[in-house]
Structure 1
C-alpha cells in the first residue's frame, strides 16, 4: 500500500486551508450582501423572501432589480415640470369629494406619467413596482396597496374611505418621485417646489 509523502501531505493541507479560506470569504460576502439588501429594500426585502420562499432566490431577484435600474436614465424634474405635476395633483385632489372612484384612476395615471417623466419604463405593474423599489423602497408598499384598492374599485367593491386611502397611498409615492433639478445660484431653490399640502381628502 502506497503511503503519501510529506510533500503530498503538505500540498493537501494547503489546498484544504485555501478551500476553507475561500468558503469563509464567500460566507462573509453573502452575509454582508444580505445585510446591504435588507437595509436598502426594507420591507420589500421581506416581501421578496416570502414570495420566493428562498432567501437566495429573493436576493438574486433584488440584485437583478438593482442592475436593471442602474442602466436606466433616471432624471430629476425641471422646476416647470414639478410645478405642472403639483398643479395636476391639486386639481385631482379637489375633485375627490364629487368623483372619488374616478380620482383613484386619475391618481394612478398621474403617478405613471410622473414615473415616465423621470425615466422609469412603463411596463406592467409588478415591473414598475420593482423598479421603484430600488430608489424608493419606503413607499413601494404604498404603491402596492393603492393598486390593490384600484383593482377592487374597477369591480365596484370599494367604499369611499378605502378610495381615500388609495389616493393617500398614491400621494406617498408621488411625493417621493417629485424630485427637482438644482437651479442656478441666486434663483429660488428647486427643492422648495413641493406638491400641495398634506393630503386632506375627505369622504
Structure 2
C-alpha cells in the first residue's frame, strides 16, 4: 500500500470520527435536558424560573451541581443521633403553636445541622448545602428553601421595623420542610409517604394523631391548642 493511500485513509477515518463526535454532542443536548428534568423534578422548573425561562442557563447550573456534588456519599446516623434529631423536630412543631417564628428558626437550623451530619456541606454554607441536597433529595429540598426564606424574611422585617410575617406561610414552610427532614433522618419511605399530609392536618386543624401511626412515637400534643394569630 502506497504512502499516499495510507495518508488518504487516515484523513478519511479522521473525518468520519470528527463527524460522529459532532453528531454525538448534538444528540446529547435534548437527552441531557431530559435527564436533568428527571433527576431534579420540580427543582428543574424552579431553576428555569430563576433564570427567567432560560433553560440552557438553568441546565448549566444544574449540571454544575451534579458535577460538584454527584459523588457525595451520605453518612448514616446512629440510632441515638436519630432520636435526638426527631425529638428536636417534635419540640419545634409543638413550639409553633405559641411561637411560630422561633419554631421556624429552629427548623432551619435543625435541617442545616442534620444535613451536615449526613455529609453535606456545612459551616453555614447554605447555598452550597442546598445545591448538594438538591442533587440527592430533589423532590423534597424545596421545603428547606421555604423555611430558610421565611427566616430571612423575618430578619429583613426586623430591620424594617415590622416583625410580622404571615403565620400561614410559616406553617406551610414547616409542613413542606418536614419531608426533607424525614428523608435525612432516615425513616423507611413506606412510613414517610403519609407524613406530610399528617403534619398538614395537624398544623392546620390543630389535632394530634396517635403516636403509633408514624412508628417513632411522635405525638405533637401542642397542636391541639389554638394557633397563635401572629409571630
- TM bucket by the smaller chain? 0.7 to 0.9
Q: Compared with structure 1, are the counterparts of its residues 62 and 15 closer, same or farther at alpha carbon in structure 2 (3 Å cutoff)?
A: same
Is the 2:143–2:174 contact (alpha carbons within 8 Å) kept by the matching residues of 1?
no
Q: Secondary structure at the match of 1:95?
A: helix
Q: TM-score of the superposition, structure 2-length normalised?
A: 0.68
- 1:96 aligned partner: 96
- 2:141 aligned partner: 140
- 1:47 aligned partner: 46
How far off is 1:66 after superposition? 1.6
Q: Secondary structure at the match of 1:75?
A: coil
Q: Compared with structure 1, are the counterparts of its residues 68 and 19 closer, same or farther at alpha carbon in structure 2 (3 Å cutoff)?
A: closer
Q: TM-score of the superposition, structure 1-length normalised?
A: 0.76
Distance (whole Å) between structure 2 residues aligned to residue 43 and residue 89 of structure 1: 25
- 1:172 aligned partner: 179
How far off is 1:128 after superposition? 1.9
Flag the structure with more relative contact order, 1 or 2, with Cα contacts below 8 A and sequence separation at least 6: 1
Q: Compared with structure 1, are the counterparts of its residues 44 and 193 closer, same or farther at alpha carbon in structure 2 (3 Å cutoff)?
A: closer
Distance (whole Å) between structure 1 residues aligned to residue 73 and residue 10 of structure 2: 51
In structure 2, list runs of 5 or more residues that go unmatched: 1-6, 158-162, 207-226
Is the 2:120–2:132 contact (alpha carbons within 8 Å) kept by the matching residues of 1?
yes
Distance (whole Å) between structure 2 residues aligned to residue 9 and residue 100 of structure 1: 77
In structure 1, list runs of 5 or more residues that go unmatched: 1-7, 181-189
1:163-189 Cα distance to aligned partner (Å, 9 max, x none): 212221221221121126xxxxxxxxx
Equivalent residues, number = 189
- 2:37 aligned partner: 38
How far off is 1:31 after superposition? 2.5
1:116-167 Cα distance to aligned partner (Å, 9 max, x none): 1101112432222111100110122222222222222232231222221222
How far off is 1:85 after superposition? 1.0
